[in-house]
């Protein structure tokens, strides 16, 4: 399959709460950026006039200069309030990929450009169990723009504790546009991507073991189909199996224990190129929304579909559509278990940008338009949930307005304007599987949800490890007695944000803990 070439390319939580106070002040001071009108948005998703209640549509803060175009982004557990790592491609004759590290507590930005040769543009990425970021593959052929889509086999590893990069072991195959995801046992599964000649998609899959620092090619029975697309949307289920939810109309299930595939479901819309996909809370239902039938772009859809993989014979079913068609958008799970669709375009990569986000409620099966974003975030944009419950939106390398792409914006969802937040005053910083643990909180009587949320690692409308893991709990005086996930099938090992949500739907600040 040939793909068209690209354009440019235990701690004291009181102390943590004090660190978040400046962020809370920003939330309270944030001004609404637009007015939402259900099912009557402008055709191109442009700005709307007037003001709106932020408790209904949220609010955007002003854009802030980052210094790079965030084509890739990952949320890190380090820093008092988390950090964001962002990188993009080298320009001109440069050979090192530019990267920045944003400290969310202070706003400080550090240049962490990779110190070795390698264009890690359109790479795969996954946050490993120890919190390091593994970056896999990318593009050969500087200078930009105008390079061909040739993949390489290089890897890079970012250590958030030391804020340094190191070169990882090369993969067995060159890959450009690969998917990278952590499995139940902490190993990283790598699949798809263009080859070194830009003539075909790599069919064999391989696995990286952080314990041995080695790649192993899986048996040929694990090969993907020749017709499958790059950046496949892979979601691990509580069974340990891994569901491929697009872009191909025929969706499939991979069994890592037998290294075999089986067909499961068929998208009603057909191929959904550049659609966004999330594994919904409960970990059995997958939502896909937007996209286009045409890989080259155009013909964006507003339709959405859900498949329940716990059903005896899982089938995709249409659910409520968005108000605005879009593709190359990012869908991020929020602290309350809803899903926010941000950015995207309706024509080509950058034309007819959509600046009105939409919030999906999987319980009510409704989409609600949110406050209008200041800048267009189309192709090569990224979105992340932050530990304070807000949403980072950055990137987009529109060649007609590259400067806008070097900024980031922060969205405060409606739940941050619906009353006081519950507080976590004590919780573990590390946790084993299937263990009882205690969260101390003065808000215990009003808590309706306890969950672990995996930090995002996103590029090209694909957050490769995103998941929202609800936990069972009981209430006591000033505390919650909670049970951790049963095993790595439910939550692969690594760092997660711990959240409690009250009966008004308002989430707490979310400290990190390591599940191992």
- Of 417, 449, 482, the domain-final residue: 417
Q: Can you give the pTM of this predicted structure?
A: 0.90
Q: Sign of the CA dihedral 72, 276, 26, 62? A: positive
What range defines the domain where residue 487 resides? 430-515
* Judgement on whether residues 100 and 125 belong to the same structural domain of the protein: yes
Q: Are 443 and 450 in contact (CB under 8 A)?
A: no
Q: What is the dihedral of CA 133, 134, 136, 138, to 10 degrees?
A: 30
Would you state the pLDDT for residue 148? 79
pLDDT of amino acid 512: 98
Based on the domain organization, do 411 and 438 belong to the same domain?
no
Q: Which two tokens stand for residue 468?
A: 């929202």
Rg (CA), the chain: 21
pLDDT at residue 142 in the model: 63
Instruction: Report the half-sphere exposure of 510 (CA within 13 A, side-chain side).
Output: 31
Both 315 and 456 in one domain: the answer is no
Residue 138, in any domain of the structure? yes
For 510, the 3-state DSSP assignment is coil
CB atoms within 10 A of CB 216: 12
In the listed set 363, 392, 417, which residue is the last one of a domain according to the structure?
417
Residue 462 and residue 355 in one domain: no
Please list, in sequence order, all residues whose beta carbon lies within 8 angstroms of the beta carbon of residue 104, skipping any fewer than 6 positions away.
23, 79, 81, 82, 83, 84, 386, 387, 388
Could you tell me if 19 and 142 lie in one domain?
Answer: yes
The CA-based angle 83-283-455, given to 5 degrees, is: 5
430 phi-psi bin (left φ>0, alpha ψ -120 to 50, beta other): beta
Q: What's the Cα-to-Cα distance from 459 to each of 56, 155, 176, 341, 467, rounded to whole Å? A: 28, 16, 13, 14, 16
Question: The tokens of 48 are what?
Answer: 């709307």
Do 138 and 233 have their domain in common? Answer: yes
**Residue 425 structure tokens:** 């005053």
Q: Is 273 exposed, middle or buried (0-12, 13-18, 19+ CB in 10 A)?
A: buried
Closest CA to 380 of 66, 9, 46: 9
* Gap between the Cα atoms of 202 and 176, Å rounded: 9
Residue 451 lies inside a defined structural domain of this protein: yes
pLDDT for res 348: 84
**In this structure, is the dihedral angle defined by the CA atoms of residues 457, 461, 462 and 468, taken in order, positive or negative?**
positive
Q: Is residue 37 domain-resident?
A: yes
Tens place of pLDDT for every residue, the chain, 516 residues?
A: 333 344 333 333 333 343 343 343 333 333 333 223 333 333 345 544 446 899 999 999 999 999 999 999 999 999 999 999 999 999 888 889 999 999 999 999 999 999 999 999 999 999 999 999 999 999 986 666 557 789 999 999 999 999 999 999 999 999 999 999 999 999 999 999 999 998 999 999 999 999 999 999 999 999 999 866 899 999 999 999 999 998 999 999 999 999 999 999 999 999 999 999 999 999 999 999 999 998 777 789 999 999 999 999 999 999 999 999 999 999 999 999 999 999 999 988 899 999 999 999 999 999 999 999 999 999 999 999 999 999 999 999 998 889 999 999 999 999 999 999 999 999 999 999 999 999 999 999 999 999 999 999 999 999 988 999 999 999 999 999 999 999 999 999 999 999 999 999 999 999 999 999
83 — phi, psi (to 5°)? -135, 155
| Burial profile 170-200: b = 16 or more Cβ within 10 angstroms, e = fewer | ebebbbbbbbbbbbbbbbbbbbbbbbbebee
Which 8-state DSSP code applies to residue 432?
-
Q: Does any domain span residue 303?
A: yes
pLDDT at residue number 144: 63
**379 and 502 inside one domain:** no
| Assigned domain for 277 exists | yes
Residue after which a domain boundary falls, among 393, 417, 441: 417
Based on the domain organization, do 79 and 214 belong to the same domain?
A: yes
> Does residue 64 belong to any structural domain of this protein?
yes
Q: Report the DSSP beta bridge partners of residue 157.
A: 134, 166
* 225: in domain: yes
Residue-level pLDDT at 24: 39
How many helices (H) and strands (E) the chain has is answered by: 3, 43
76 and 129 both lie in a single domain? yes
Question: Does 410 map to a domain?
Answer: yes
**Strands 430-431 and 512-515, how do they pair?**
parallel
Distance CA 417, CA 60 (A): 13
Same structural domain for residues 252 and 365?
A: yes
Residues 214 and 73 occupy one common structural domain: yes
Domain count, the chain: 2
Residues 112 and 35 in one domain: yes
């Amino acid at each position: 399959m040939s793909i068209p070439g690209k354009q440019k390319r235990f701690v004291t939580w009181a102390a943590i709460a004090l660190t978040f106070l400046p962020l809370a002040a920003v939330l309270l001071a944030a001004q609404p950026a637009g007015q939402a009108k259900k099912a009557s948005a402008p055709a191109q998703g442009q700005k709307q006039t007037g003001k709106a209640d932020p408790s209904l549509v949220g609010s955007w803060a002003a854009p802030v200069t980052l210094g790079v175009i965030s084509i890739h982004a990952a949320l890190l557990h380090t820093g008092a309030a988390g950090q964001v790592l962002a990188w993009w491609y080298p320009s001109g004759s440069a050979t090192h990929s530019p990267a920045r590290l944003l400290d969310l507590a202070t706003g400080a930005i550090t240049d962490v450009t990779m110190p070795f040769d390698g264009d890690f543009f359109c790479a795969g990425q996954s946050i490993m169990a120890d919190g390091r970021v593994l970056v896999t593959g990318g593009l050969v052929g500087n200078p930009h723009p105008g390079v061909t889509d040739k993949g390489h086999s290089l890897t890079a590893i970012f250590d958030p504790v030391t804020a340094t990069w190191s070169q990882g072991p090369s993969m067995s195959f060159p890959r450009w546009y690969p998917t990278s995801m952590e499995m139940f046992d902490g190993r990283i599964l790598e699949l798809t991507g263009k080859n070194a000649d830009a003539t075909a998609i790599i069919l064999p899959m391989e696995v990286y073991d952080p314990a041995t620092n080695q790649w192993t090619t899986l048996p040929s029975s694990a090969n993907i189909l020749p017709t499958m697309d790059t950046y496949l949307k892979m979601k691990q289920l509580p069974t340990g199996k891994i569901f491929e939810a697009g872009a191909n109309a025929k969706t499939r299930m991979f069994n890592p224990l037998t290294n075999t595939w089986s067909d499961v479901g068929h998208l009603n819309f057909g191929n959904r190129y550049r659609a966004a996909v999330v594994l919904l809370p409960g970990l059995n239902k997958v939502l896909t929304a937007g996209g286009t039938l045409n890989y080259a772009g155009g013909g964006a859809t507003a339709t959405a579909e859900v498949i329940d993989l716990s059903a005896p014979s899982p089938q995709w079913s249409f659910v409520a559509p968005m108000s605005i068609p879009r593709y190359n958008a990012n869908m991020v799970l929020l602290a309350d278990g809803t899903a926010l669709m941000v950015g995207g375009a309706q024509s080509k990569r950058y034309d007819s940008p959509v600046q009105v986000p939409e919030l999906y409620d999987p319980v009510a099966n409704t989409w609600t338009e949110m406050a209008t974003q200041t800048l267009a975030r189309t192709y090569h944009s990224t979105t992340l949930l932050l530990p304070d419950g807000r949403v980072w939106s950055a990137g987009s390398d529109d060649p007609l307005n590259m400067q806008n792409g070097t900024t980031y914006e922060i969205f405060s969802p409606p739940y941050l304007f619906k009353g006081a937040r519950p507080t976590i005053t004590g919780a573990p910083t590390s946790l084993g599987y299937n263990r009882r643990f205690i969260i101390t909180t003065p808000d215990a009587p009003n808590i309706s949800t306890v969950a672990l949320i995996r930090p995002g690692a996103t590029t090209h409308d694909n957050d490769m490890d995103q998941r929202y893991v609800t936990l069972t709990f009981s209430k006591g005086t000033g505390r919650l007695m909670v049970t951790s996930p049963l095993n790595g099938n439910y939550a692969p090992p690594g760092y997660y944000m711990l959240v409690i949500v009250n009966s008004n739907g308002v989430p707490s600040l979310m400290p990190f803990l390591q599940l191992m």
